[in-house]
Amino acid sequence: MDNSVLDIAVVGGGINGAGIALDAVGRGLNVALYEADDFGCGTSSASSKLLHGGLRYLELGEFTLVKKALAERDTMLKKAPFLIWPLCFCLPHRPHLRPVWMIRVGLFLYDFLARPTSLPSCQFIRFDDHQVLKNDLLFGFEYSDCWVDDARLVILNIMDAAERGAEVRNRCKVTQATRKNGLWELEILDLQTQTRFIRWSKCLVNATGPWVEQFFECISSMIPPCSVRLVKGSHLVLPKLYEANKAYILQNKDGRVVFVLPYLDRFSMIGTTDIEFKGDPIDVSIDQSEIEYLLNVYNQYFQNPVSFSDVYWSFSGVRPLYEDASVSAQKVTRDYRLELDEKENEAPLLSIFGGKLTTYRVLAQEAVNSLFAYFPHMGGAWTECSLLPGSENITSFKDVEDDLKRRFHWMDCFSVHRLATTYGARVWVWLEGARFQNDLGQSFGFGLTQREVDYLIHFEYVRSGDDLLWRRTKLGLYLSDIQKKAVTEYIEKAIKNTLEDHSSFFNFI
């Protein structure tokens, strides 16, 4: 274990913590990141999988946030072109909900704030008899935003930070943080080995998301400077509802909007719910009223109705929105607030309140900038033009798909697409040298092989079946219970064998 004093210790391995760790280590700082569970296992893997400006935020007057988010949408398209791609959205018009002039003005502003952009401008459209929507819906509007695999965006930032020299650890819980002699003393419990260790740091960053207030209980004599409002967002996954590769944004009479999104080629996703949440975020789950709400909104718009029996899977997450005293959860700002606690001769504490997936990079950049007085030797902002792992020498996932098809004639189309959109150019780390299917070792189903699992354990910090099945990949939607059990048992055995040699374990994490 490295006993050197850290410049920055980040607590929380969601998208904000991962982004801050990457930004800081890229400026030459000595950085560590500790996550009590798995990277991105909370809010950051339970979003609507969108990088977007937030069209509906214009109604709330959030023009600065929307402009910032739209600029980041285009930046991220370039940073991870295999993981992020444009998605066309259709907004059917319901005259009793929002008048045409309001929607036209909103979309005009959306286009205007996005300039310059590589995405198509909005347009008016008329529906024909071949539409999947109900016949009373005669026209609407189309605009563009971007789709992303949120959990993989987190792990790419984690990998990038580690490759640049950061210490990144999941299943390591910071149980106590104390200011001593101008430094932070952190007591950390390794939940895998049930051992405790101490790390010292010049600065502490609280990026624990929904637990940002709760983390102050680990800090002696401190109370949170701000509050967060916890808002639950739930989603349903159903077998593919229509063939067109487009999304729908559905207005509802309560002022909320519901997305219907193409998901993993074989599914459709409906969400989100945006309701107040009380309790521990780790226990969040969808309830019956949310399922009924989402199905009801969908059935108001589409010709072929769906019911509870059509729901294949569901997931929920808790968004920690900065508490701005708004009346309803839908009106709470999606922007973020950074709180820097600094006292003379004492180590600083930076806490992150709020934020959204789309703006994580600028949040991270601003967070590290705020610490310049403590680290005047650090480099300047750099992440805007850098590529995330897997994006090297490619323009989109199709570049990788074409290469896979050319080199592996025996690989099925599903696997080719999955590997290209999951790993990008990093797929060659574990496929290089393979000539036949048998070269990849044990097969677990749907193209998942021993080589891929080993890669995920050693390079992407997989420590459990859920890490692999639901976050690093989405194969939990495809594999049978027997296949999932085989994957989980293989991972558990591999981790157990590695833990028996602690030196080897710490070398690869």
Domains annotated on the chain, with CATH: 6-43+152-227+334-385 (3.50.50.60), 73-148+230-319 (3.30.9.10), 397-508 (1.10.8.870)
In a 13 Å sphere around the CA of 295, the CA atoms on its Cβ side amount to 17
Number of C-beta neighbours around residue 307 at 10 A: 9
Q: What distance in Å separates the CA atoms of residue 291 and residue 287, rounded to the nearest whole number?
A: 7
Q: What is the pLDDT at residue 324? A: 74
CA-closest candidate to residue 209, choices 72, 10, 2: 10
Task: Report pTM.
Answer: 0.95
pLDDT given for residue 330 in this prediction? 61
Q: What pLDDT is recorded for position 128?
A: 85
3-state secondary structure 442-457: CEEECCEEHHHHHHHH
Can you tell me which residue has the tokens 């999951």?
Answer: 422
Measured CA to CA, the distance from residue 404 to residue 425 in angstroms comes to: 10
Q: What is the pLDDT of residue 1?
A: 52
Which DSSP string corresponds to 165-193?
T-EEESSEEEEEEEEETTEEEEEEEETTT
Residue of 245, 232, 326, 246 whose CA lies nearest to 277: 232
**185-236 pLDDT, tens digit each:** 999 999 999 999 999 999 999 999 999 999 999 997 788 998 899 999 999 9
Are 48 and 63 a contacting pair, CB within 8 Å?
no
Q: What pLDDT, on a 0 to 100 scale, did the predictor assign at position 509?
A: 40
The confidence score (pLDDT) of residue 182 equals 95
Q: Exposed/middle/buried for 160, CB within 10 Å: 0-12, 13-18, 19+? A: buried
Close Cβ partners of 273 (under 8 Å, ≥ 6 residues apart)? 232, 233, 234, 256, 290, 293, 294
- Position 273: which residue type? T
Q: pLDDT means per 10 residues in the chain (509 residues)? A: 87 98 98 98 96 92 94 97 97 92 95 95 90 93 98 98 98 97 97 96 98 92 89 97 95 94 97 93 95 98 97 96 69 83 93 95 98 97 98 96 96 97 98 94 97 98 98 98 98 90 47
Q: Is the four-CA dihedral 23, 26, 28, 32 of positive or negative sign?
A: positive
Distance of CA 3 to the CA centre of its chain: 31
Q: Which residues contact 77 (CB under 8 A, 6 or more apart)?
A: 51, 84, 85, 86, 118, 146
> 374-382 long-range contacts, Cβ below 8 Å, gap at least 24?
374/202, 374/203, 374/348, 375/7, 375/27, 375/29, 375/202, 375/203, 377/28, 378/24, 378/27, 378/28, 378/29, 379/26, 379/27, 379/28, 380/27, 381/23, 382/23, 382/26, 382/27
